[in-house]
């Protein structure tokens, strides 16, 4: 099946293109390259063994969407395109709501006009806010978001829920990612953040490669096993396999489907540093700093539903994630610019 992959040259989208091709589907990419490098196209092509159809354009541009849907018999859309930096969203709420919410509504309208009724949406555990209990189930309360990014994701989920109720013949799947890290084992594609990384793993690998001096550990006084923040890190390969499973198991089932994509395991910052030190064979320079505003103590997934209904579960362990992240960084010290 031809699958439109919006944001298909980004961190997760690029891995999804490879996983789709491996499963016998044909990814068609739409990306405005606002947070990715066109060099990713050649890397993806190397991994899928054929050329990749890429449209440079914006999900907010109805004409480019109509053109793609006229040119290709698209069977489904995997929608990764969006802005995702929590801190940036506080400073630029308009850009985040325009991109993430208006962009998705524009995409939905174009899909409806083209009679394309399968959508898989990149949602986020951030819609759960600060959870009352962990592990977090799909039935947990959502909406207590604390930044425009998380609110934009929750708004899109609400729009898709209402749209699904009014259009029961559509198959719409919300995949709530926890903390994706890692890279394709080849080291050809990976996470290539612009500027100073917000997220833990790319910051760790940039310290390890010598691009950053020291890792700041934001708080060691949380109510966790070692005082540092605990998250559910999931290998990006497992994450995109979850997308293929959702397409194949729910793509022909109408209605709205919601799944957590995580491992169900909580890993602390110090656990992550220890794993990286083991891979490196040396100690990373770290410094304990005050808590980061907006951070929560613990967040990890209940993963039974995806396992039961999609026949999917994460199978890479923490060492795989750290090794593959480091392999990508070593082969690409400056990301795709290397
Ligand atoms: P990314 O920034 O690497 O990839 C997003 C891609 O979308 C980029 O290639 C960017 O150029 C493109 N893009 C952005 N706005 C666009 C627009 N208006 N039109 C066309 N292309 C556009 O991010 P990612 O980490 O791959 O995340 C992909 C999706 O998953 C995002 O929606 C993000 O919110 C979601 N998500 C990511 C994480 C994470 O930790 N990485 C966690 C939960 C959810
Ligand atoms: C993980 C842990 C930090 C950096 C974010 C977004 C979320 C989603 C995933 C999009 C925390 C600690 C981090 C550093 C540190 N993105 N940390 N030093 O905050 O769980 O989630 O990315 O959907 O919406 O909020 O991920 O990697 O930033 O932080 O100590 O330099 O590492 O305090 O405990 P987070 P993260």
Q: What is the pLDDT of residues 46-74, one digit of tens each?
A: 999 999 999 999 999 999 999 999 999 99
Could you give the CA distance from residue 48 to residue 26 in angstroms, rounded to a whole number? 10
| Contact partners, residue 316, CB within 8 Å, separation at least 6 | 182, 234, 235, 237, 238, 324
Mean pLDDT of the chain: 97
Residue 207 pLDDT > 90, yes or no?
Answer: yes
Per annotation, catalytic residue among 11, 149, 222, 233: 149
Residue 338 confidence class, pLDDT cut points 50, 70, 90: confident
Q: Residue 209 class from Cβ within 10 Å (0-12 exposed, 13-18 middle, 19+ buried)?
A: middle
231 close to ligand 2 (CB < 6 Angstrom): yes
Active-site residue flag, 11:
no
For the chain, the distance separating the N- and C-terminal CA atoms, rounded to the nearest angstrom, is 34
Ligand at minimal distance from the CA of 127 is: 2
- Give CA–CA dist 203/201, Å, rounded: 5
CB 298 within 8 A of CB 134: yes
Ligand 1 atom, smallest distance to 149 CA? 34
Mutate to test the pocket of ligand 1, among 4, 10, 183 (most ligand atoms within 8 A of CB): 10
CB of 318 within 6 A of ligand 2: the answer is no
Give me 123's structure tokens: 């949602």
Could you tell me if the CB of 89 is within 6 A of ligand 2?
Answer: no
| 11 close to ligand 2 (CB < 6 Angstrom) | no
In tens, the pLDDT along 249-269 reads: 999 999 999 999 999 999 999
Is 212's C-beta closer than 6 angstroms to any atom of ligand 2? no
Residue 15 alpha carbon to ligand 1 centre in Å: 12
Cα(118)–Cα(169) distance, integer angstroms:
9
Alpha-helical runs (H) found in 124-266: 148-166, 200-209, 236-250
- Which ligand has the shortest distance to the CA of 55? 1
Q: Which residue in 68, 156, 151 sits closest to 119, CA to CA?
A: 156
Q: How far is the CA of 199 from the centre of ligand 2 (A)?
A: 5
Structure tokens at 56: 């440079």
Q: State residue 6's pLDDT score.
A: 99
Given a contact cutoff of 8 angstroms between Cβ atoms, the answer to whether 254 and 170 are in contact is yes
> What pLDDT score does 175 carry?
98
pLDDT band for 146, please (50, 70, 90 cuts): very high
Which of the ligands is closest to the CA of residue 57? Answer: 1
Atom of ligand 2 nearest to the CA of 228: 34
* Nearest CA among 250, 225, 231, 271 for reference residue 136: 231
Q: Is this structure's pTM higher than 0.95? A: yes
CB atoms within 10 A of CB 112: 13
């Amino acid at each position: 099946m031809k699958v439109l992959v919006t944001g298909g040259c980004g961190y997760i989208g690029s891995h999804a293109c490879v996983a789709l091709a491996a499963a016998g589907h044909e990814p068609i990419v739409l990306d405005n390259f606002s947070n990715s490098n066109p060099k990713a196209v050649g890397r993806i092509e190397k991994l899928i063994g054929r050329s990749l159809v890429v449209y440079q354009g914006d999900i907010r541009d109805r004409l480019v969407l109509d053109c793609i849907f006229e040119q290709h018999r698209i069977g489904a859309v995997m929608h990764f395109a969006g802005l995702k930096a929590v801190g940036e969203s506080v400073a630029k709420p308009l850009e985040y709501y325009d991109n993430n919410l208006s962009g998705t509504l524009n995409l939905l309208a174009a899909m409806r006009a083209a009679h394309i009724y399968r959508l898989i949406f990149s949602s986020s555990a951030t819609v759960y806010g600060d959870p009352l209990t962990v592990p977090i189930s799909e039935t947990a309360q959502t909406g207590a978001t604390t930044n425009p990014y998380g609110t934009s994701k929750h708004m899109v989920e609400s729009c898709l829920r209402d749209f699904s109720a009014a259009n029961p013949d559509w198959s719409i799947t919300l995949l709530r990612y926890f903390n994706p890290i890692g890279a394709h084992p080849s080291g050809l594609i990976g996470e290539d953040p612009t500027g100073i990384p917000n997220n833990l793993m790319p910051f760790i690998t940039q310290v390890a490669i010598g691009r950053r001096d020291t890792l700041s550990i934001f708080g060691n006084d949380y109510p966790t096993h070692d005082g540092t923040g605990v998250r559910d890190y999931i290998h990006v390969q497992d994450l995109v396999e979850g997308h293929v499973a959702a397409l194949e198991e729910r793509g022909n089932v109408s209605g709205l489907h919601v799944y957590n994509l995580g491992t169900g395991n909580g890993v602390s910052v110090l656990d992550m540093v220890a794993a990286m030190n083991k891979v490196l064979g040396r100690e990373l320079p770290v410094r304990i700093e005050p808590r980061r505003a907006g951070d929560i103590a613990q967040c990890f997934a209940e993963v039974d539903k995806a396992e039961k209904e999609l026949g999917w579960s994460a199978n890479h362990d923490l060492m795989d994630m750290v090794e593959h992240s480091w392999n990508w960084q070593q082969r690409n010290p400056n990301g795709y610019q290397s």
